[in-house]
Amino acid sequence: MSYLNEAEHKIVSDAVGEAEQSTSGEILTVLADRSDGYTDVVLVWAAALAFTAMSVFALFPQPFLDFYDGLFGGWGHEWTTGELASMTILLGLITFALTWAVQLWKPLRFALIPGPAKTARVHEQAIKHFKVGAERRTHGRTGVLIYLSMSEHRAEIIADEPIAVKVPAEVWGEAMAEMLDEIKAGRVAQGMAVGVRDVGFVLSEHFPRDGKDENELPDRLIEV
């Protein structure tokens, strides 16, 4: 899905072009809907709840059996070991399927994903985009990626090694603070433009523009 229209894309692209006027650094911007499908997390939730339902049935079978008998005419009967085993498996399968199905609803799925898992997946995806789009792609290895993942509500700034050596990680955190404030208010393009501006300020301090500098990475925002 696309989060920004053509005019909003231009806001970000123009911000990149302006920021690079004062630095030899190159800024790449990527906006992602999500950084992972989290199928493994969905599977863990479904398996955990299925196992829980089966365990509860094994401990307290009578309420379930009374409900089943009432559902089919109210005539109770003696349950055999095989029937109880089948009922346990059926309950587990139903719980597994229902848990998997409800997590197809995106807001619930992402609400159930632990925060550390989101942070790790966003970081991994940002690294992948950086390696493909920016790492070692500039003459002085001065590429910087601003990566925003909307579903996880996470952002990352990844820099080439010469920049990372000079700029501490906390500086990038400060650069992202105002960007995230704008994004939280629903102004995604404006937020990314602010992030680009602040990254540009940092880069211009450590890597000022020289007369031989060329634009080596695209200024346009990439949506994935």
Tens of pLDDT, residues 102-118 = 999 999 999 999 999 99
The torsion angle over the Cα atoms of residues 67, 68, 70 and 74, rounded to 10 degrees, is: -140
Let me know: does 53 contact 98? Beta carbons within 8 Å: no
pLDDT tens readout for residues 120-137: 999 999 998 888 866 555
pLDDT confidence band for 213 (50 / 70 / 90): low
At residue 74, the pLDDT reads: 56
More confident residue, 171 or 35: 35
201-212: burial string, b at 16+ Cβ within 10 Å, e else: ebbbebbeeeee
Rounded distance between C-alpha atoms, residue 69 and residue 63, angstroms: 10
Pull the structure tokens for residue 185: 């208010």
Backbone phi, psi, residue 23, to 5°: -145, 155
Let me know: does 34 contact 121? Beta carbons within 8 Å: no
Pull the structure tokens for residue 214: 């060329």
The domains found in the chain, sorted by start residue, are 6-36+115-223 (3.10.310.50), 39-111 (no CATH)
Beta bridge partners of 144: 27, 159
Task: Tell me the range of 51-55, 80-84, 135-139 where mean pLDDT is highest.
Answer: 51-55
At residue 106, the pLDDT reads: 92
DSSP for residue 80: P
Q: What is the pTM of this model?
A: 0.81
Pull the structure tokens for residue 216: 């080596």
